[in-house]
Structure 1
Amino acid sequence: MNPNPLKILVLYYSQHGGTQNLARQIARGIESVAGCEAVLRTVPKVSAVCEAVESDIPAAGAPYCSAEDLKTCAALALGSPTRFGNMAAAMKYFLDGTVAQWLGGELIGKPATVFTSAGSLHGGQESTLLTMMLPLLHHGMIISGVPFSEAALGQTRSGGTPYGASHMAGAEGRPELSSHEQQTAFAQGRRLAELAVKLAV
């Protein structure tokens, strides 16, 4: 095993489990590439109440993302559920707080990719993915999507876009991924890791 693997940050926010499941599949894809390690992280809920009472450590799931996680990552996969065609407030709030990393150029030249989950098939997944790319471009990151050479993109009847993996949760908020959603997320993670390896040379 590589004693100094490339750490690839999989940073997500998830309320019902769909985005978290995409993150886990992306992590599997990352770790299918030799020399790469997926680092799963999340962000806390945000509201006037949550900021006052939210624990420093989440009760379950991935730890909260730190400044050190951003600084030391070789690449970033960023995920959020769709909220009216945009990322969730918790993720936007976190990204708005990365001015120090922007000033220091800590993410410049690193590859990045995005993923999302929504309740309906046409619930704003693609606009969410596109707007999630904007702060990453401001950070100088290199954006990676999912090419149509991935067969699942042409076969899916649920989630999946060339801008990034997505999940269609339905009105019931089902967190389980379809096989095509799993394949797309895995391929996206693997592609991100392969790019990170090439750029690290």
Structure 2
Amino acid sequence: MSLPYILILYYSRHGSVAEMAKYIARGVKKQTAIDVKVRQVPDVATTTTSLSPSIPEEGVPYCTLDELAECSGLILGSPSYFGSIASPLKFFLDQTSTLWMTGKLIDKPASVFTSGSSMHGGHEMCLQALATPLFHHGMIIQSQSYKAKELMQTQTGGTPYGASHLASSTNNTELSNDESALCEIQGYRLAKLVMQLNK
């Protein structure tokens, strides 16, 4: 019998969000009675005449709607663009209306994460934008806890709304110690909540 799993779903253009997903997955794996699936979404074309390959050239596999429907918890990530979600992830979420109509995600725990290139470049707005469709799906949104000392001491990314990374204008993908710790904590806490709800 397969274990219940948490889906870590993201879009990453320069690699920072993908790097965060690795640390979040480490946190999930600390709960041994639950599995983790890490998935990405493809880019969207500026025209409708070209299609992305069904298998990405690099990185983790693309997510299917079935994988989203069958997850026991969701951790959703996107770069912050002008305080909002990246278009490829928004495009994927716009295709989930069948899951909304059938209630496939109701009462499942979820959390969100982001990366942005400036200190006040809309990290928290992006996290709230990521949470909005999850509220519509009836999911249980989990915040980041101030019990984590890293949230109080960080000089880079980190918010109570979810993990964040300050990539700087050079698109630096290396996470600070506080950022990577907060990513792991977020994954661990969501996995713990999933296990508590599925007893």
TM-score tier (shorter): over 0.9
1:4-23 alignment runs, 5 A limit: 4-23=2-21
**Gaps in structure 1 of 5+ consecutive residues:** none
1:200 CA drift (Å): 0.9
The one-letter amino acid of 1:67's match is L
Q: Secondary structure at the match of 1:52?
A: coil
Partner of 2:24: 26
Partner of 2:58: 60
The one-letter amino acid of 1:180's match is D
**TM-score, normalized by length of structure 2?**
0.97
Contact kept in structure 1, 2:144 and 2:186, CA below 8 Å: yes
Residues 68-127 of structure 1: CA distance to partner in whole angstroms, max 9, x if unpaired? 101210000000000100010111111011001101100000000000000011110000
Q: Identity rate of aligned residues, in percent?
A: 44
State how far apart, in whole Å, the 1-side matches of 2:94 and 2:117 are. 25
1:120-135 alignment runs, 5 A limit: 120-135=118-133
1:54 CA drift (Å): 1.2
1:37 CA drift (Å): 1.1
**Matched positions, count:** 199
1:81 and 2:79 aligned: yes
The one-letter amino acid of 1:24's match is K
Residues 21-67 of structure 1: CA distance to partner in whole angstroms, max 9, x if unpaired? 11111100001012111100000111234772311111011111101
State how far apart, in whole Å, the 2-side matches of 1:130 and 1:62 are. 25
Partner of 1:145: 143
1:40 and 2:38 aligned: yes
Partner of 1:190: 188
Contact kept in structure 1, 2:45 and 2:51, CA below 8 Å: no
State how far apart, in whole Å, the 1-side matches of 2:123 and 2:189 are. 20
State how far apart, in whole Å, the 1-side matches of 2:140 and 2:109 are. 4
Partner of 1:118: 116
State how far apart, in whole Å, the 2-side matches of 1:171 and 1:133 are. 26
State how far apart, in whole Å, the 2-side matches of 1:51 and 1:13 are. 22
Partner of 1:103: 101
Contact kept in structure 1, 2:7 and 2:75, CA below 8 Å: yes
1:192 CA drift (Å): 0.3
Q: Secondary structure at the match of 1:165?
A: strand
Q: Secondary structure at the match of 2:32?
A: coil
State how far apart, in whole Å, the 2-side matches of 1:180 and 1:170 are. 16
State how far apart, in whole Å, the 2-side matches of 1:58 and 1:50 are. 19
Q: Secondary structure at the match of 2:172?
A: coil
State how far apart, in whole Å, the 2-side matches of 1:75 and 1:58 are. 24
**Gaps in structure 2 of 5+ consecutive residues:** none
Q: Secondary structure at the match of 2:118?
A: coil
The one-letter amino acid of 1:8's match is I
